Amino acid sequence: MRHNFGAGPCILPQEVFRQASQAVLDFKDGLSILEISHRTPEFEAVVTEAVKLVKELLNVPEGYSVLFLQGGASLQFAMVPMNLLSEGQTASYLDTGVWANKAIKEVKYFGNAHIVASSKDANYTFIPKDYSIPEDSAYFHCTSNNTIYGTEMFSLPETNVPIVCDMSSDIMSRVIDVSKYDLIYAGAQKNIGPAGTTVVIVKDEILGKTTNKIPSMLDYTQHIGGGSMYNTPPVFSIYVAMLNLRWLKSKGGVAEIEKENIAKARTLYTEIDRNPLFKGTCAVEDRSRMNVCFVMEDKELEKEFLKLAEENGIEGIKGHRSVGGFRASIYNALSITSVHRLVELMQIFAEKHQK
C-alpha cells in the first residue's frame, strides 16, 4: 500500500479518481470530459454544482461570488492588488513565508506594501502576533497555512480593514467564518481538486473601486459576469474539483473532516514529541494540521529514515530545502491509517537506534 504525504499536487480520494477516469472515457454520449465543449448545458451544470458546493461547504454568505479561475494562487498575488489597490494606496501584509513574500513583491506594480510583522528572522517557525494594522490600509493580506514551514493561522487579527487571505493549503480542512474575509483565494491542488484551477471567494461590494485600468482577463468583475467562463475554463480540473467536493459533502462536510484532521495531526505530533529521535520545527501553538514539519536530533540518520519510509510505501515526506528534515502533508483525503503507518515506522526506527 502506498501512503501519499506529498505537499501538492497531493492525494485525492480513490473514488474521485475512479469517477474522473470514467469521465475521461465517457462523460456524455461517448464524449470525454477532455473534449466536451464548455458551453454545453452539461458542463455548465458542472460549474454550477461546483460553485454551489463551495458555498454550501463553507457556508458562504449572500453578497459573495465564487469563481474558478486559472493561473494558480501565484496569479492572485497580482490580481488582488490590481483589483483592490489604487495608485498611492498602501496594503498591509503579514510575512509568514515564501508565498506571503512572493505576494508582497507583486504589490509594487500597483501601490505600496506595508509589512505589519514577519517571522523571517526565525525561519518562519511561528506566526507573528500582537501587531497593528494601519486603519488607512486598502486591505490586510495573510496566508492562513504555510506549506513549506508547517505553520497555520487559527485566528484573525481584530481590524476594520478588509481582509484578504491566501488559503491554498488549508481551505476545506476546517470550519471558517467566511463573513470575516473580504476575499479568499486558494489553488485547488490540496483539498479542492487537482492542479489547474484556483477558487476565489470575493465580497462583491469591494470590487469596482480601484482607479487601475484592469485587463479583462485579470478583472474579477469580468469573471463574475462570465460565470467563471469568460474564456475557456480548465474543464477537467473543475470537474474533478466538483467530484471531490461531492465526496467531502458525503463525509459530513467541513466540520466532520476537521475532526479527522485534528485526530491525524494530534497522532503525528504526539509521536514527534514523544520519540527521542525526532523533534518539531515550529512553535507548538502555530503547528499546522496540514503540513507537519519535523527533523531528527541526529541529522546523519535522516537519509536512513527516509529510505526506510520509502521502502514501506511512504511517499513525499522529504522536507522542503528551506527547512530540511521531513514534511508530512496530511490533507483531507489522507487516511489516519497512513498516519499510523508513519508513526509505526518512527517507533521501529527509534527502537533500532536506541539499542
Q: Considering only CA atoms, which of 208, 291, 197, 209 is closest in space to residue 235?
A: 197
CA distances from 281 to 152, 263, 271 (A): 13, 20, 14
Phi/psi region, residue 310 (left: phi>0; alpha: psi -120 to 50; beta: rest), is alpha
Q: Considering only CA atoms, which of 95, 97, 119, 101 is closest in space to residue 283?
A: 119
DSSP-derived secondary structure for 81-136? HHHH--TT-EEEEEE-SHHHHHHHHHHTTTSEEEEEEE-GGGTT-S---S----TT
275 annotated to a ligand binding site: no
Confirm if 118 and 92 have CB atoms less than 8 A apart.
no
197 annotated to a ligand binding site: no
Query: Which of 95, 190, 203, 318 is the catalytic position?
Result: 190
Catalytic status, residue 298: no
CA distance 344 to 185: 36
173 annotated to a ligand binding site: no
CA angle 164, 320, 108 (to 5 degrees): 35
289 annotated to a ligand binding site: no
Q: Considering only CA atoms, which of 306, 309, 294, 248 is closest in space to residue 2?
A: 309
166 annotated to a ligand binding site: yes
List all residues 6 or more positions away from 22 whose beta carbon is below 8 Å from its beta carbon.
none
231 annotated to a ligand binding site: yes
CB count, 10 Å around CB of 167?
25
CA distance 125 to 118: 10
List all residues 6 or more positions away from 120 whose beta carbon is below 8 Å from its beta carbon.
95, 101
Catalytic status, residue 247: no
List all residues 6 or more positions away from 181 whose beta carbon is below 8 Å from its beta carbon.
163, 164, 165, 201, 203
CA distance 84 to 295: 40
247 annotated to a ligand binding site: no
Catalytic status, residue 249: no
Confirm if 145 and 169 have CB atoms less than 8 A apart.
yes
Query: Which of 95, 166, 182, 219 is the catalytic position?
Result: 166
95 annotated to a ligand binding site: no
347 annotated to a ligand binding site: no
Query: Which of 99, 203, 247, 318 is the catalytic position?
Result: 99
Q: What is the helix (H) or strand (E) element at residue 67, kind and residue range?
A: strand 64-69
Return the C-alpha torsion angle 73, 79, 83, 87, nearest 10.
Answer: 130
Known binding positions: 39, 73-74, 99, 147, 166, 189, 231-232
Known binding-site residue numbers for pyridoxal 5'-phosphate: 73-74, 99, 147, 166, 189, 231-232
Which residues carry a binding-site annotation for L-glutamate? 39
Q: Catalytic positions, please?
A: 99, 166, 190
